[in-house]
Amino acid sequence: MSIEKMLKYQETDMRLIKLENELKNSECAKKMIAFQSATKKSFDTLTSMNDVAKNNMDNIVKHKAKYDEIFKQIEEISNEIATESDDKQLEYYAKQLEKLYQSLEDMEKEIARTGKDLSDAGYRYGKEYEQAGKSSAGFRRYTEEFNKLKKEKAVEANDIIKELKGMEVALDRELLDKYKKIRASKRPVFVPFHKPNICGGCGMEVAQDVINKLGEGRKIQECPNCGRIIYNQD
């Protein structure tokens, strides 16, 4: 099968691929992706901070309820002491009060610690929110630059696409479909055979039966290693 027209088609298509790569690897594309990633990371962090802050607030509510309960017990025992005259009972109440006051002190420390955590988290939240704003602004800026460059490239790309469409009518449909399928993951699709036994695409050795099938003239075979189409340059 002669593939002269197919090789010409690939040569034209490579110009389109070159444009695609120029857009993909442009500085604005790289920065757009970087700022997009940074923005997502910041908002993920903010979401996590919100969850932690909610948990801390729930803990403060629980600590406050426990604190109030301890304080209520202290008041009740204090009232009992005021009317009690038995020394042993007074000693018992004194020990109970000592334990309750210690619990009260522990709860005060826990509430203060949780409050400090909230305060520190609030500061970090503000910083992260500020960073998220900067990243988001950067993402918008470079997205605009990317879209502008994309439009510029599209003018040239559309001309190439029209040229390719015009060439397709003269190509073998089965071979063209195979080309387009391979093109999605491997470029170029058609690669030369390098004697004595090397695929011009992956650089791997090919089996003797593949070499035999290539034979003489510009015949083709699929590389068993990379799936590209090898053609004989002779």
pTM, to two decimals = 0.69
pLDDT at 97: 86
With tokens 């070159």, the residue in question is: 18
Say what the pLDDT of residue 87 is: 79
Give long-range contacts, CB 8 A cutoff, 24+ apart: 120-127.
121/49, 121/52, 121/53, 121/56, 122/53, 124/49, 125/46, 125/49, 125/53
Please work out, in degrees rounded to the nearest 5, the angle formed at the alpha carbon of residue 97 by the alpha carbons of 95 and 100: 115
CB atoms within 10 A of CB 148: 11
pLDDT at residue number 2: 61
pLDDT at site 216 = 66
Instruction: Walk along the chain (234 residues) and give the pLDDT tens digit of each residue.
Output: 468 899 999 999 999 999 999 999 999 999 999 999 999 999 999 999 999 888 888 888 888 888 888 888 888 888 888 776 677 888 888 888 888 888 888 888 888 888 888 888 888 999 999 999 999 999 999 999 999 999 999 999 999 999 999 999 999 999 999 999 999 888 899 999 998 999 999 999 999 988 888 876 668 899 999 999 999 877
Q: How far apart are the first and last CA of the chain?
A: 13
Edge-to-edge strands, sheet with 190-194:
198-199, 190-194, 229-231, 220-222
Per-residue pLDDT, 104: 84
| Per-residue pLDDT, 217 | 62
Report which of 26, 2, 22 is spatially closest to residue 14, judged by C-alpha positions. 22
